[in-house]
Amino acid sequence: MKTASITMIIGSALLFGLFLYPLWSITLEAPQYPSGIGMYIHLDGLEGHEKHDIQNIDGLNHYIGMRKLPKDDEMWEFSVFPKVVGGMAIVGIIIGVLGFFKKISYNWFLGWLILMVVLGVLGMIDFNNWMTDYGTNLDPKAIMKMTDKEGNPLSYKPPLFGSKDILNFTAHSYPALGAILMGIGMSLTCVAYIIGFKKAK
């Protein structure tokens, strides 16, 4: 149970990586942007890959009527997400410590993981909804109104995961270091549960 608990503590603590590193990264590539242009999505806000990338993405997006990217105080997610993630990390560590002193069973590890997965999925859905809205809810006075073959307005929604061609740009959307650390952390809590389960046998 000691190994399992320590693994649980480490796994939960890795969530703190999200306070240091971004969750997601979206990069736009086009010939006239030889070094790319892009942004990091942090728990508490957006940040350009380079100092002025957010401003420059907004500048590009205004041609197709997309709204400006939200400032830190313009989305409730940027104040709630840090609390949820921080809270889950603390709870996970407490569970691990309690497990270490054999106050609770390893099943709590699984419980934490399930809750974390549920919250993660909710977060992804929320993120996807925002991107859909951002990419399709366009200014009716947009300078360029592009349509697909069927005549429907084009969606400029970046992919949730992977790469996609949007007009002259190719957008790449992938997890960044913070999300990778979170993934490792969650895997570790799963490992903690398995170790606990096996030892108990």
Partner 1 sequence: MKTIQKLLLGLGAGLLLIGCGNNSKDGSSGAMASSNAEKVYVAPGEHDEFYAFLSGGYSGNLTVYGLPSGRMFKEIPVFSQFPTNGYGYSEETKAMLNTSFGFVPWGDAHHPDISQTNGELDGRWVFINENNTPRIARISLETFETEEIIEIPNSAGNHASSFVTENTEYIVAGTRFAVPNPQRDMPIDEMKGEFKGPLSFISIDQEHGHMNLDFQLNMPGFNYDLAHPGRDKSHGWFFFTSYNTEEAHSMMEVNASQNDKDFIAAVNWQKIAEYVENGGGTKVAGTYAHNTYDESTMTATTEMKEGVISVDPRNVEGAVYYMPVPKSPHGLDVDPSGQYIIGNGKLSTQLSVYSFDKMMKAIEDKDYDGDAYGIPILSFESVLEGVVDSGGLGPLHTEFDGKGYGYTTFFISSEVVKWKIGTWEVIDRLPTYYSVGHLTIPGGNSRKPFGKYMFSMNKITKDRYLPTGPELEHSAQLYDITGDKMELLLDFPTHGEPHYAAAIPAELIKSKSKKYYELEENNHKYAAKSEADTRVERNGNEVHIYATTVRSHFAPDNIEGIKVGDKVYFHITNLEQDFDVPHGFAMIGANTSEILVMPGQTKTITWEPKREGVWPFYCTDFCSALHQEMQGYVRVSAKNSNTKLRWSLDDEWKE
Interface ranges with partner 1 (CB under 8 A): 51-52, 55-56, 59, 63, 143
Q: Which is nearer to partner 1, 71 or 103 (CB)?
A: 71
Contacts of 98 (CB under 8 A, 6+ apart): 104, 108
Could you tell me the two tokens for 60? Answer: 């590009």
Alpha helix segments (H runs only) across 62-176: 77-100, 107-136
Contacts of 188 (CB under 8 A, 6+ apart): 7, 8, 10, 11, 14
Least Å distance, CB 55 to partner 1, is 6
Least Å distance, CB 85 to partner 1, is 31
Q: Which is nearer to partner 1, 59 or 183 (CB)?
A: 59
Q: Which is nearer to partner 1, 52 or 198 (CB)?
A: 52
Least Å distance, CB 28 to partner 1, is 13
Closest CA to 41 of 166, 140, 151, 160: 160
Q: Which is nearer to partner 1, 140 or 143 (CB)?
A: 143
Alpha helix segments (H runs only) across 17-106: 17-20, 53-61, 77-100
Least Å distance, CB 49 to partner 1, is 12
Cα distance from N-terminal residue to C-terminal residue, the chain: 11
